[in-house]
Every structure is written in C-alpha cells, then in structure tokens.
Chain A
C-alpha cells in the first residue's frame, strides 16, 4: 500500500500549506499587537503590553466597547424574546397562514440587508430616529429576527409536547407552560441563538456606521475604523491591539457556542422543516 501512503502524505501536505495560508494574515495582528513599533510587515516584536494599556487607557475606546455591548446585547435579548414568542404558536398550533408565514421568514433570512440601508437611513431621518442607539438596536433586531425565528422553531419542534400537556393538566396556563416547561428545556437553543445574534451584531460595521453619527454613540466596530482612517500615520501596534481586543468576544462566544452545538453544523436547522 505504498501508493496509498504516498497519497495520504500528499493530502497532509496540501492541508499544511492551506493551513499556513490561512494562518499568515492572522499572525501579523498577533505579533503587531505586542510591538510598540509595529509596521505592516511581520517582524519580531519587543513583547510589551504598552499597546493594550494605551488602548484600554482611552476612555473613548472603553465607551465604544460599552456601546457595542449594549447594542449587541440588547439586540440578542430582543431577538430571543420575540423569537421564543413567535416560535411557540408556529411549533405547537395549527394556523391557516402558518406555511406561508414560515416560507416568508425563510425567504427573509437570505435577503442581503445591505440592499435596504439607503431607504432605512431615509426612514430614520424622516422619523427623527437617526443617531438613536435604541432605534438602531430595533432595526438590527428586525434584521436578525427571521433567522432567529427559524432556528428557534426548529429547536422548539425537538421539545416533546407531552411535558407541556402534563403541565396543563396540572393547571398551568399556556403562558405558564411556555415559561416553566418549554423555555428551560430550550436553554441550549436559546443560548445558541443569543450568541449567534450577538456575534453577528458585534461584528457589524455598516449598520451603525450609517445610522449613528455622534462619536460617543458609536460602537467599537465603527471607532476601530476611525482609528484606522483619522490617524494619518497609523499606529499599527495600537490598531492591532484594539482589533485583537475587539475580536476576543467573538472568539470566546464562538468557543462557548460549540458546547451547545451538540449536533455539529447543519444549515441552522433548515434541513428539518
């Protein structure tokens, strides 16, 4: 089986090369963040934490992280609440327009939100909503709601109905059954959707860039861009440190969500209708 061995080794070789290609761009940000004289190329850093302390010592930066947490956290909370409520009748009841509603939801999950940003900006102007963190949060909630409802419904479909029926027999209301029986059993699903929503929004630059204007209301995704654009001579070390700090929540949350994703990675439950 010499031929077979050779084939396997070639495959390992290709994977190593591809892996290195994926690794190299990330490598720069890791090295530069610990280097006070960082340039655009890779170089051996002098390993200080100065960049991080400079970034974290700036109250504007800290505030933008705070705004990001409020914006994305609020959005994730609203998406979870609205999608649990919506998923319940979709999963548990027969309704006349259910099929068309679900198909519309699925359809909306795929539409590129980029396409509506110009009219949304106009709409915000017209209703005097521009530069409002709360209104931006509501728009973001709506844009991620279709996916949230779709996933939540498939999670809910996997919770057996007998438990609820037992609760009803014991005198629980529909609302009580949802709150005390279904929601606790769905915690992994709820956590997955919350994490997914938070991360997507945490990394979203375009929406807050269009809908928010004043510096103190901008989340980290937008301040990071201004950092890049406004400092004529870009301080690469600080930019890298800021980027790394900003990327951390996404990485940590992703690792966290891996625990909940017992069933590997399928199309967000889309395979089960």
Chain B
C-alpha cells in the first residue's frame, strides 16, 4: 500500500544536495578540466585555457600511459578475477559441510586480512616481502637463497597483497550463495552416481552463476580504484613497474603538477568505471 504525496520528495533534499555538490559536480569538472591546460594550482586555476583534445593526444602518445593501462589490466586480471574471485570461490566451496569450529577459524583468519585497513595491509606486506622479511626466512628453511621480491617481482607482490586484502569479500558472497542451494539436489545427483566434479560443473556453478558474475564485476570495480595499497607499498616503482592508472594519475597531478593531464587520466578511469558499473548493474538484474 503505497501513497502518493506531494511533499515526500522533500525528504530527499539533503541527499540530493550532497550528491550534487560532491559527486556530480566533480564528475562534470573531470570532463571540463580534462580539456584544459591546468597546471600547478591556485592562480592557474583562474586563467584556464581550453586546449581541446591536446591532453588526450599527448596521452595516447605517452608510452608511460600505454604501459600503465597494461599494468592496470594485469593487476585487474590477476588480483581481481583470478585471485580474489577464484580463490574466494575455492575457499567457500572447501568450507562447505566442514567442522563448524574449523570453518570459523579459517573464516576469521581470511576475514582478518579484509578488515585490516589498506595502509596496514601495505605495511604487513612490505615487511613480508622485504629482503630480511618473513617470506625470505621461510624459503631460507628450504635452503633457497633470499630474493628481493619488491625489487625483482614488484607486480607479483602488489597482486598478492591485494588478493590477501580482498579475498574474504568474495568468500563471504559465495558462502551465502552456496548456502542457498537446496541440499536435496546435490544429494539426488550423488545417488544417481554423479561424481564431485560433475556436481560442481552441472549443478553448483550454474546455480551460483549470478552471484559469481555480479561479484566479479564488483571486485573488478574495487580493484580498478586501488591506489593506497600500491602507492604505499611501491610508490608505483621500481621505475614505473607497478604504476597502474590511479598511481599514474596521482603522479601526473600531484607530483608533476599537470592537473589537466592528470584529470584526463581520471576521465579515462571514470569511463572504464562507468562501463564496468553498467555491466555490474546489468548482471544484478535488479528490480527497483
């Protein structure tokens, strides 16, 4: 029983105002600034010049930009799709129908990495991968000589750090999706002689396909925006080897003071985000 009312929308005013000023305006500004030569700060912001597509022409010719798009893709595929989504699903699947206490302990350990703030995750991981760090200690027990991970394998290090930080989210999503599968379906299949692999392939995965796709889009969007973890672990280095788009954007805008150029990179990020966001909504089949 819903009612019509003329005054009801007034309740939306505070939210609409806030979203307009701090959400919509920045997006409009992104589009505007991306076509200007904004540099430095303050006074330059007042005598802006419109330079058309100059920022974008520079961008597409900039080898640093091309490489950072590539790095972003690698980071997304390995840390979001392959890492968090698949590992989260494996964890949820293995934890099904196991001893309750055991499940809880594993759950707490995995969730601990997720609850920990990103900057602390970065410290833990820097300590873990550093030359005298835990990882080299562990491989030392097996007689392997130490590796300077952050220097030789920086991308692998940040990818693992992000997997460690994010997997719990996917695990929890899949746990609740798996819990909703009626037990008798799988039991019936077992009685009919289907082996575990067949059950997984023909029953379990098809039944949770929706949440797999939705969660994959959401994790991809979250990973696309990851800045803190990479910035604090490696600063985008060594060289530019871990410079994903957000870090590249930051360096152009706040280190080189090329705000126009930095905003143009923002716009690219935003467009990727908008497209991914639309796919995410499509995958949800949401009914409003």
Q: Do A and B bind?
A: yes
**Which residues from A are CB-within-8-Å of B120?**
29, 224, 243, 246-247
**Which residues from B are CB-within-8-Å of A118?**
30, 33, 249, 253-254, 259, 262-263, 265-266
User: Closest residue to A8 on the B side, CB-wise?
Assistant: B98
B26: contacting residue among A89, A123, A228, A243, CB under 8 A:
A123
- Determine if B263 and A119 form an interchain contact, defined as CB atoms under 8 angstroms apart: yes
Q: B94-114 interface mask toward A, CB cutoff 8 Å, 1 = contact, 0 = none? A: 110010001001100111110
- Determine if B15 and A145 form an interchain contact, defined as CB atoms under 8 angstroms apart: yes
A38-46, A47-55, A58-66, A185-193: which lies at the interface? A38-46
A267 to B196 Cα, complex, angstroms: 28
User: Closest residue to A140 on the B side, CB-wise?
Assistant: B22
A129 to B133 Cα, complex, angstroms: 42
On whether A142 and B21 interact (CB within 8 A), knowing A11-B94, A86-B15, A221-B119, the answer reads yes
User: Closest residue to B23 on the A side, CB-wise?
Assistant: A142
Tell me how far the C-beta of B136 lies from the nearest C-beta in chain A, rounded to whole angstroms: 7
- Report if A81 contacts B (CB, 8 A): yes
Q: Provide the main secondary structure of the chain A interface.
A: helix
- Determine if A112 and B222 form an interchain contact, defined as CB atoms under 8 angstroms apart: yes
- Report if B281 contacts A (CB, 8 A): yes
**Which residues from A are CB-within-8-Å of B9?**
89, 95
On whether A99 and B119 interact (CB within 8 A), knowing A39-B132, A82-B15, the answer reads no
Tell me the count of chain A residues lying within 8 A, CB to CB, of chain B.
Answer: 93
- Determine if B124 and A26 form an interchain contact, defined as CB atoms under 8 angstroms apart: yes
A203 to B272 Cα, complex, angstroms: 25
**Which residues from B are CB-within-8-Å of A120?**
22, 26, 29
- Report if B284 contacts A (CB, 8 A): yes
Tell me how far the C-beta of B27 lies from the nearest C-beta in chain A, rounded to whole angstroms: 6
**Which residues from A are CB-within-8-Å of B112?**
22, 26, 251
**Which residues from A are CB-within-8-Å of B1?**
161, 165
- Report if B276 contacts A (CB, 8 A): yes
A85 to B4 Cα, complex, angstroms: 17
- Determine if B128 and A25 form an interchain contact, defined as CB atoms under 8 angstroms apart: yes
- Determine if A221 and B117 form an interchain contact, defined as CB atoms under 8 angstroms apart: yes
Q: Which residues, 189 to 223 on A, are CB-close (under 8 Å) to B? A: 199, 202-203, 205-206, 210, 221
- Determine if A103 and B288 form an interchain contact, defined as CB atoms under 8 angstroms apart: yes
- Report if A233 contacts B (CB, 8 A): no
Q: Which residues of A contact B (CB under 8 A)?
A: 7, 11-12, 14-15, 18-19, 22-29, 32, 39-42, 81-83, 85-86, 88-90, 92-95, 98-99, 101-103, 106-108, 110-123, 125-126, 138-139, 141-143, 145-146, 149, 161, 165, 174, 199, 202-203, 205-206, 210, 221, 224-225, 228, 236, 239-240, 243, 246-247, 250-251, 254, 264-267, 270-271, 273
